[in-house]
Chain A
């Protein structure tokens, strides 16, 4: 049973981060808080990917150095999830940039960023 828990602790954290992110998106009134919730939500997926790349035992980082033989696979981290996460983080940053541009456009037109007021004003 311990092994079961020991093996899965990384995934509990992903789920917890996801819950925080979703809470931020769903229940917060201010739009900027929603965007922050979104960023946390994306961070949870990044955490998940990175956690699956690890291996038991002493593991060197993904940059090959000359004294550790490359042939023995278990000496190195699995580099693929890290590569994927570079892309996911960049995509997250781009989405955040676009979200803040939209927020400025909304603010200039409605002078408020509170969702309830916005809906009333739009009626």
Chain B
């Protein structure tokens, strides 16, 4: 735990380079790209939903599968046999 505390990096304060200018190698910093083009790309005001649904839709699909696994796990562990007991 002391390691985690000492591991606190001095990386500038919240408004550091990530938000403002382009990233170093010139690729558009994706945080800003989303703000500028979210509405243009998907005509949806809520940027977070656009990222969730469109730009990074595999993440959301993975999320849905995570919940599906959790549901199946409860079925697996706590259900004795499907047919006979009810």
Residues of A within 8 A of B (CB): 3-4, 6-8, 10-12, 15, 18-19, 22-23, 51-56, 62-65, 70-71, 73-74, 76, 78-80, 82-84, 86-87, 90-91, 93-95, 97-98, 101-102, 104-105
Choose among A65, A86, A104 the residue that contacts B48 (Cβ–Cβ < 8 A): A86
Determine the chain B residues whose CB is within 8 A of the CB of A8 once the complex forms: 8, 10, 13
Beyond A76-B35, A83-B52, whether A15 also contacts B8 by CB under 8 A is: yes
Question: Distance (Å) between the CB of A48 and the closest chain B CB?
Answer: 11
Could you tell me how many residues of chain B have their Cβ less than 8 Å away from some Cβ of chain A?
A: 39
Q: What are the interface flags for B60-86 relative to A under an 8 Å C-beta threshold, 1 for contact and 0 otherwise?
A: 101100110110011001100000000
A52 to B18, CA, bound (A): 9
- Chain A binding site: helix, strand, loop or mixed by DSSP? helix
**How far is B44's CA from A65's CA once the two chains are assembled, in angstroms?**
11
